[in-house]
Protein backbone atom coordinates (compact mmCIF):
# COMPACT_ATOMS: atom_id res chain seq x y z
CA UNK A 1 0.00 0.00 0.00
CA UNK A 2 2.88 2.33 0.83
CA UNK A 3 4.33 1.84 -2.66
CA UNK A 4 0.96 2.67 -4.25
CA UNK A 5 0.64 5.82 -2.10
CA UNK A 6 4.15 6.93 -3.11
CA UNK A 7 3.39 6.25 -6.79
CA UNK A 8 0.12 8.20 -6.68
CA UNK A 9 1.82 11.07 -4.83
CA UNK A 10 4.65 11.17 -7.40
CA UNK A 11 2.12 11.13 -10.25
CA UNK A 12 0.14 14.07 -8.85
CA UNK A 13 3.31 16.05 -8.13
CA UNK A 14 4.46 15.46 -11.71
CA UNK A 15 1.11 16.59 -13.11
CA UNK A 16 1.16 19.69 -10.89
CA UNK A 17 4.71 20.56 -11.98
CA UNK A 18 3.83 20.10 -15.66
CA UNK A 19 0.75 22.29 -15.24
CA UNK A 20 2.81 25.04 -13.66
CA UNK A 21 5.32 24.90 -16.51
CA UNK A 22 2.58 25.09 -19.14
CA UNK A 23 0.84 27.98 -17.41
CA UNK A 24 4.00 29.98 -16.77
CA UNK A 25 5.16 29.60 -20.37
CA UNK A 26 2.16 31.55 -21.64
CA UNK A 27 2.52 34.48 -19.26
CA UNK A 28 4.91 37.14 -20.43
CA UNK A 29 5.06 40.80 -19.55
CA UNK A 30 4.41 43.23 -22.37
CA UNK A 31 7.41 45.13 -23.63
CA UNK A 32 6.98 48.89 -23.70
CA UNK A 33 9.48 51.49 -24.82
CA UNK A 34 9.32 55.27 -24.74
CA UNK A 35 11.07 57.00 -27.60
CA UNK A 36 11.59 60.74 -27.87
CA UNK A 37 11.29 62.15 -31.38
CA UNK A 38 12.32 65.55 -32.75
CA UNK A 39 8.89 66.78 -33.66
CA UNK A 40 5.27 65.84 -33.16
CA UNK A 41 3.57 69.13 -33.86
CA UNK A 42 0.08 68.16 -34.98
CA UNK A 43 -2.58 65.48 -35.39
CA UNK A 44 -1.09 64.67 -38.81
CA UNK A 45 2.27 63.87 -37.18
CA UNK A 46 0.57 61.68 -34.59
CA UNK A 47 -1.40 59.82 -37.26
CA UNK A 48 1.75 59.31 -39.36
CA UNK A 49 3.67 57.95 -36.36
CA UNK A 50 0.84 55.56 -35.46
CA UNK A 51 0.61 54.38 -39.07
CA UNK A 52 4.38 53.83 -39.21
CA UNK A 53 4.20 51.73 -36.02
CA UNK A 54 1.12 49.69 -36.97
CA UNK A 55 3.11 46.59 -37.97
CA UNK A 56 5.18 46.43 -34.76
CA UNK A 57 2.98 47.94 -32.04
CA UNK A 58 -0.17 46.75 -30.32
CA UNK A 59 -0.59 50.16 -28.67
CA UNK A 60 0.88 53.65 -29.23
CA UNK A 61 0.51 56.56 -26.83
CA UNK A 62 1.85 60.00 -27.74
CA UNK A 63 2.56 62.70 -25.17
CA UNK A 64 4.24 65.72 -26.69
CA UNK A 65 7.34 64.41 -28.45
CA UNK A 66 7.38 61.15 -26.46
CA UNK A 67 5.99 58.06 -28.18
CA UNK A 68 5.31 55.08 -25.90
CA UNK A 69 4.99 51.83 -27.82
CA UNK A 70 3.74 48.46 -26.61
CA UNK A 71 5.31 45.80 -28.81
CA UNK A 72 3.09 43.28 -30.62
CA UNK A 73 2.89 39.56 -30.01
CA UNK A 74 5.16 39.41 -26.93
CA UNK A 75 8.06 40.79 -28.96
CA UNK A 76 11.04 42.05 -26.96
CA UNK A 77 13.32 43.55 -29.64
CA UNK A 78 12.89 47.31 -30.05
CA UNK A 79 14.94 47.69 -33.26
CA UNK A 80 11.80 47.24 -35.43
CA UNK A 81 10.18 50.12 -33.50
CA UNK A 82 13.16 52.39 -34.12
CA UNK A 83 13.25 51.40 -37.80
CA UNK A 84 9.52 52.02 -38.21
CA UNK A 85 9.73 55.44 -36.59
CA UNK A 86 12.74 56.43 -38.73
CA UNK A 87 11.03 55.26 -41.94
CA UNK A 88 7.93 57.22 -40.89
CA UNK A 89 9.99 60.40 -40.53
CA UNK A 90 10.48 60.31 -36.75
CA UNK A 91 14.07 59.35 -35.89
CA UNK A 92 14.67 58.71 -32.20
CA UNK A 93 16.24 61.56 -30.23
CA UNK A 94 15.93 59.66 -26.95
CA UNK A 95 15.33 56.00 -26.11
CA UNK A 96 14.41 55.59 -22.46
CA UNK A 97 16.00 52.35 -21.20
CA UNK A 98 15.46 52.92 -17.49
CA UNK A 99 17.85 51.41 -14.99
CA UNK A 100 17.47 47.74 -15.87
CA UNK A 101 19.78 45.69 -18.04
CA UNK A 102 19.93 46.23 -21.80
CA UNK A 103 21.18 43.59 -24.23
CA UNK A 104 22.23 44.75 -27.67
CA UNK A 105 22.91 42.14 -30.32
CA UNK A 106 25.77 43.49 -32.41
CA UNK A 107 25.65 42.95 -36.17
CA UNK A 108 29.39 42.29 -36.51
CA UNK A 109 31.40 41.18 -33.51
CA UNK A 110 33.61 38.42 -34.86
CA UNK A 111 36.76 38.50 -32.74
CA UNK A 112 38.50 39.77 -29.63
CA UNK A 113 39.65 42.83 -31.54
CA UNK A 114 36.07 43.78 -32.38
CA UNK A 115 35.00 43.20 -28.77
CA UNK A 116 37.89 45.31 -27.46
CA UNK A 117 37.13 48.13 -29.90
CA UNK A 118 33.45 48.24 -28.92
CA UNK A 119 34.30 48.09 -25.21
CA UNK A 120 36.83 50.91 -25.60
CA UNK A 121 34.39 53.06 -27.59
CA UNK A 122 31.73 52.81 -24.90
CA UNK A 123 34.12 53.36 -21.99
CA UNK A 124 35.57 56.48 -23.63
CA UNK A 125 32.16 57.87 -24.67
CA UNK A 126 31.61 59.66 -21.35
CA UNK A 127 27.90 58.83 -21.24
CA UNK A 128 26.97 60.17 -17.80
CA UNK A 129 24.33 57.57 -16.84
CA UNK A 130 26.23 54.53 -18.20
CA UNK A 131 27.55 52.16 -15.51
CA UNK A 132 31.00 51.32 -16.89
CA UNK A 133 31.27 48.28 -14.60
CA UNK A 134 28.18 46.78 -16.24
CA UNK A 135 29.61 46.73 -19.79
CA UNK A 136 30.10 43.17 -21.07
CA UNK A 137 30.91 42.34 -24.67
CA UNK A 138 30.74 38.64 -25.53
CA UNK A 139 29.09 36.08 -27.77
CA UNK A 140 27.91 38.64 -30.34
CA UNK A 141 26.19 40.87 -27.81
CA UNK A 142 26.70 43.82 -25.52
CA UNK A 143 25.06 44.09 -22.11
CA UNK A 144 24.99 47.24 -20.03
CA UNK A 145 22.86 49.24 -17.63
CA UNK A 146 22.54 52.63 -15.98
CA UNK A 147 24.31 53.78 -12.87
CA UNK A 148 22.40 53.21 -9.64
CA UNK A 149 19.41 55.56 -9.39
CA UNK A 150 19.74 56.82 -12.98
CA UNK A 151 18.00 56.11 -16.26
CA UNK A 152 19.96 55.32 -19.42
CA UNK A 153 19.24 56.99 -22.76
CA UNK A 154 20.27 54.56 -25.51
CA UNK A 155 20.71 57.21 -28.24
CA UNK A 156 24.24 58.18 -27.09
CA UNK A 157 25.11 54.49 -26.65
CA UNK A 158 24.01 53.69 -30.22
CA UNK A 159 25.81 56.79 -31.54
CA UNK A 160 29.04 55.70 -29.83
CA UNK A 161 28.65 52.21 -31.27
CA UNK A 162 28.09 53.54 -34.79
CA UNK A 163 30.98 56.00 -34.52
CA UNK A 164 33.21 53.01 -33.68
CA UNK A 165 31.83 51.03 -36.64
CA UNK A 166 29.25 48.81 -34.97
CA UNK A 167 25.48 48.62 -35.38
CA UNK A 168 22.73 46.93 -33.38
CA UNK A 169 20.80 44.00 -34.82
CA UNK A 170 18.57 43.70 -31.74
CA UNK A 171 17.91 45.61 -28.53
CA UNK A 172 16.16 44.06 -25.55
CA UNK A 173 15.55 46.18 -22.47
CA UNK A 174 14.89 45.10 -18.92
CA UNK A 175 14.45 41.46 -19.84
CA UNK A 176 16.08 38.69 -17.89
CA UNK A 177 18.92 37.80 -20.21
CA UNK A 178 21.49 35.08 -20.00
CA UNK A 179 24.64 36.37 -18.39
CA UNK A 180 27.29 36.96 -20.98
CA UNK A 181 30.78 35.96 -20.00
CA UNK A 182 33.47 38.45 -21.04
CA UNK A 183 36.34 36.92 -22.96
CA UNK A 184 39.42 36.39 -20.81
CA UNK A 185 41.82 38.46 -22.87
CA UNK A 186 40.71 40.71 -25.71
CA UNK A 187 43.11 41.16 -28.58
CA UNK A 188 43.81 44.61 -29.99
CA UNK A 189 42.26 45.29 -33.39
Q: Where are the domains of the chain?
A: 32-96, 102-173
Would you give per-residue pLDDT tens digits along the chain (189 residues)? 555 454 444 433 343 333 333 344 445 578 999 999 999 999 999 999 999 999 999 999 999 999 999 999 889 999 999 999 999 999 999 999 999 999 999 998 999 999 999 999 999 999 999 999 999 999 999 999 999 999 999 999 999 999 999 999 999 987 544 333 333 333 444
Q: Kindly tell me the sign of the dihedral angle through the C-alpha atoms of 39, 40, 44, 49.
A: positive
Burial class, 67, CB count within 10 angstroms (exposed 0-12 / middle 13-18 / buried 19+)? buried
User: Could you confirm whether domain 102-173 is CATH 3.40.720.10?
Assistant: no
Q: What is the pTM of this model?
A: 0.76
Return the CATH fold of 32-96: Alpha-Beta Plaits (3.30.70)
Judge whether 86 and 159 are in contact, CB under 8 Å: no
Amino acid sequence: MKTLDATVKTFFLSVAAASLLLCSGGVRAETKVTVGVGHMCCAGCQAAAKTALAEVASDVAIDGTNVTVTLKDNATDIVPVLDALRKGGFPATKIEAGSGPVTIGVAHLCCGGCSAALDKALRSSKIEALNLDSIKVADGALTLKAKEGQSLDLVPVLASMEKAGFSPKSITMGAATAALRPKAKLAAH
